[in-house]
């Protein structure tokens, strides 16, 4: 029997070589996406319509604003199954890229927000329908501004008719 051709059983090999020959330094990289919590949204987002709001006092919207929004949705033949409502005050690090990646939104409505608040690289005035990144954006005043303001409601309705082809 030569020393070049020795057959050892696997158990013996395991006991002989308890350490690896190359020590790999395992420095796991922290992916910022994996550490971020998923968005807290209201609605099922089936038609990829995102409604962004800003409210300190409630998780999503105060009741009167939510009721007004439900009326708008009904006029557009939408329900809460079709949309997602996201309060940027209750969700950290909201930006258009993360919205696109996680929610796959096709239509994004900014109520009381400016485009730069979600790091959108284009700036546009309220009631201007803006297409960007295969998405349609519309900025409008906060929902609380529509309570008794017929002119604002009319301007919003004209934009919604164009976006949803009503």
When pLDDT is cut at 50, 70 and 90, the band that residue 3 belongs to is low
Rounded to an integer, what distance in angstroms lies between the CA atom of residue 138 and that of residue 105? 13
CB 89 within 8 A of CB 40: no
Q: Would you put residue 53 in left (φ > 0), alpha (ψ -120 to 50) or beta? A: beta
Kindly tell me the number of DSSP H helices and DSSP E strands found in the chain. 5, 6
Q: What is the DSSP string of 112-150?
A: S--GGGGT-S----TT--EEETTEEEEEE--GGGGTT-H
The average pLDDT across 11-30 equals 59
Q: What is the model's pTM?
A: 0.75
When pLDDT is cut at 50, 70 and 90, the band that residue 44 belongs to is very high
Rounded to an integer, what distance in angstroms lies between the CA atom of residue 150 and that of residue 165? 22
Distances, alpha carbon 15 to alpha carbons 7, 8, 21, 66, 109, in Å: 15, 11, 14, 67, 64
| Highest CATH level, class, for 41-164 | alpha beta
When pLDDT is cut at 50, 70 and 90, the band that residue 93 belongs to is confident
Domain range list for the chain: 41-164
């Amino acid at each position: 029997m030569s020393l070049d051709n020795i057959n050892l059983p696997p158990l013996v090999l395991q006991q002989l070589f308890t350490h690896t020959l190359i020590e790999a330094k395992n420095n796991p990289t922290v992916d910022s996406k994996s550490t971020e919590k998923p968005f807290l949204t209201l609605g099922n987002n089936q038609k990829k319509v995102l409604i962004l709001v800003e409210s300190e006092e409630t998780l999503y919207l105060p009741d009167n604003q939510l009721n007004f929004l439900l009326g708008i949705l009904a006029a557009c033949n939408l329900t809460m199954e079709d949309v997602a409502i996201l309060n940027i005050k209750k969700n950290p690090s909201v930006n258009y890229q993360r919205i696109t990646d996680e929610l796959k939104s096709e239509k994004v409505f900014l109520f009381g927000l400016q485009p730069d608040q979600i790091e959108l690289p284009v700036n546009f005035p309220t009631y201007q329908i803006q297409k960007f990144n295969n998405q349609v954006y519309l900025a409008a005043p906060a929902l609380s501004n529509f309570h008794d303001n017929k002119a604002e409601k009319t301007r919003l309705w004209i934009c919604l008719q164009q976006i949803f082809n009503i």
